[in-house]
Structure 1
Amino acid sequence: MVKSGHLYGIGIGPGDPELMTLKALRLLRTVPVLAYPVSFGKSLARSIVAEYLPEGQIEIPMLFPFKIDESAQPYYDSAAEKLAEYLSAGQDVVVLCEGDPFFYGTFMYLYTRLSERFPTEVVPGVSSVMASASALGVPLTYRNDAFMVLSAILPAEELLPKLAVADAAVIIKLGKHFTKVYEVLKQLGLAERAKFIEKATMQNQRIVPLNEVDPTTVPYFSLIMIPSQWQP
């Protein structure tokens, strides 16, 4: 009987390849099968680690179109079964995940499908939230602050009460939802305190004053940070 392979979900950080952990780098270089998400014909995850990839590694692009009007679940089903073929044959598989695998990461959906069938290990990574705080030069929280992470996809009537009670917050997945979020922040008197960053730690990172952001150009990989007001 063939011993099943191990599945590794590794966080590779938000864009700067030097933010990978040593453990993630070791697995990336030694595991024979590499899988990574592909959207719209490109893989951001693979591009982050490209310079570290060894020769001869089997590569499995996993198509996740992430269309608003289409469920991604069938694509996760298909990707999981493809990985299961290699794992069942005794081959270890490493899956790339931007940021941290268990913090809004694509690997979570593969983990729920495969972790009960195969030995699985998750290697944490630097999330865009933590990387953005450093890039912006603002401490997120102090002492007993209540910190909240919210998706910009939420309707305004849900964002309003949540932001009203947070001492510090981050709003992710901005994209086309920027204008809605900006209006909510103005209603709560938080707009002047808020910071905007896109593509944190990547070569094309941009930090722009909130009132100068062009809503038509805001990418998915952008966020608004509302740091703590605590003063020592």
Structure 2
Amino acid sequence: MSGTLYGIGVGPGDPELLTLKAHRLIGTAPVIAYPAPDSGDSFARGIVAAYIPPGVREIPIVIPMRAARFPAQQVYDDAAGDIAAALSAGQDVVVLCEGDPFFYGSFMYLFARLAGRFPAEIVPGVSSLGAVTAAARRPLIARDEVLTVLPATLPEADLERQLAQANAAAVMKLGRHFDKARAVLERLGLTGRAIFVAHASLPNQTVCPLADAPRTAPYFSMIVVPGKDAHV
């Protein structure tokens, strides 16, 4: 009998936001896989490091953190091969994913490669969007308003078109695209409603009006534009 593949959302960074189910599965898993940069520590692993039991086999999924293109499909092909070998041997494999596995989560690429051959279960986690909204202490949408979630990696014209039509919005994956996103919001007259949040739920969390935000933004940051009906 094969093992089960678990895609586990570990939340936005605060270990106390881990679900009880995720905690139980991490504490009993014989194999744990997680995304890791090619330099530095894995953020996903760091969130749950205190709960990983000794003797667990670890499979780092090394993803280059650079602007230049890299063979992403090969990275996931190789990781899926390593995980498939463990599953075929009857071992359960827990794959850690920052935030929620299916909300811009890298686990989706492993799921696509493995779920057709092995039992798979998704354990949802607190998403970055939920954590950012809580950090901002502002409701995001109310009544019949529609939320638009956008990656800042979109071409500038597409980002502007989507934001111009939005009741409320969240702009993710800022990093090196921060200036572009901020300029679009300024042109649309949305800066006054926009809130910048970086490292939500962590000790170094930053929350401020977009107009007061620093000139640079980390990848783990977001701009939210609450709807006009969402107020306290």
TM-score range (shorter-chain normalised) is over 0.9
Q: The residue matched to 2:118 in structure 1 has which SS?
A: coil
Residue 29 of structure 1 is matched in structure 2 by 27
CA distance, structure 1, for counterparts of residue 71 and residue 103 of structure 2: 20
C-alpha deviation, 1:4, in angstroms: 0.7
Give the conservation status (yes or no) of the 8 Å contact 1:13–1:125.
yes
Moved more, 160-169 or 96-105: 160-169
AA aligned opposite 1:159: L
Give the conservation status (yes or no) of the 8 Å contact 2:135–2:200.
yes
Residue 147 of structure 1 is matched in structure 2 by 147
C-alpha deviation, 1:40, in angstroms: 2.8
AA aligned opposite 2:22: A
Residue 205 of structure 1 is matched in structure 2 by 205
CA distance, structure 2, for counterparts of residue 47 and residue 14 of structure 1: 11
CA distance, structure 1, for counterparts of residue 230 and residue 221 of structure 2: 27
Residue 188 of structure 1 is matched in structure 2 by 188
AA aligned opposite 2:126: V
C-alpha deviation, 1:208, in angstroms: 3.1
Give the conservation status (yes or no) of the 8 Å contact 2:5–2:93.
yes
- TM-score of the aligned structures, taking structure 2 as reference length: 0.95
Moved more, 73-82 or 57-66: 57-66
CA distance, structure 2, for counterparts of residue 185 and residue 34 of structure 1: 41
AA aligned opposite 1:106: S
CA distance, structure 1, for counterparts of residue 65 and residue 122 of structure 2: 23
Moved more, 190-199 or 203-212: 203-212
After TM superposition, list the pairs within 5 Å mapping 1:165-176 onto structure 2.
Answer: 165-176=165-176
C-alpha deviation, 1:66, in angstroms: 4.1
Residue 227 of structure 1 is matched in structure 2 by 226
Residue 59 of structure 1 is matched in structure 2 by 58
Q: The residue matched to 2:117 in structure 1 has which SS?
A: coil
Residue 9 of structure 1 is matched in structure 2 by 7
Residue 81 of structure 1 is matched in structure 2 by 81
CA distance, structure 1, for counterparts of residue 174 and residue 6 of structure 2: 29
- TM-score of the aligned structures, taking structure 1 as reference length: 0.95
Runs (5+) with no aligned partner, structure 2: none
Q: The residue matched to 1:192 in structure 2 has which SS?
A: helix
CA distance, structure 1, for counterparts of residue 168 and residue 149 of structure 2: 9
CA distance, structure 1, for counterparts of residue 211 and residue 186 of structure 2: 11
AA aligned opposite 1:117: R
AA aligned opposite 2:121: E
Give the conservation status (yes or no) of the 8 Å contact 2:142–2:227.
yes
C-alpha deviation, 1:213, in angstroms: 2.6
AA aligned opposite 1:100: D
Give the conservation status (yes or no) of the 8 Å contact 2:141–2:230.
no
Q: The residue matched to 2:193 in structure 1 has which SS?
A: coil
CA distance, structure 2, for counterparts of residue 38 and residue 137 of structure 1: 31
Moved more, 129-138 or 58-67: 58-67
After TM superposition, list the pairs within 5 Å mapping 1:23-172 onto structure 2.
Answer: 23-41=21-39, 42-68=41-67, 69-172=69-172
Q: The residue matched to 2:87 in structure 1 has which SS?
A: helix
C-alpha deviation, 1:67, in angstroms: 3.3
Give the conservation status (yes or no) of the 8 Å contact 1:64–1:76.
no
Post-superposition Cα deviations, 1:87-123, rounded to whole Å, max 9, x if no partner, equal 0111000000000000000100000000001000000
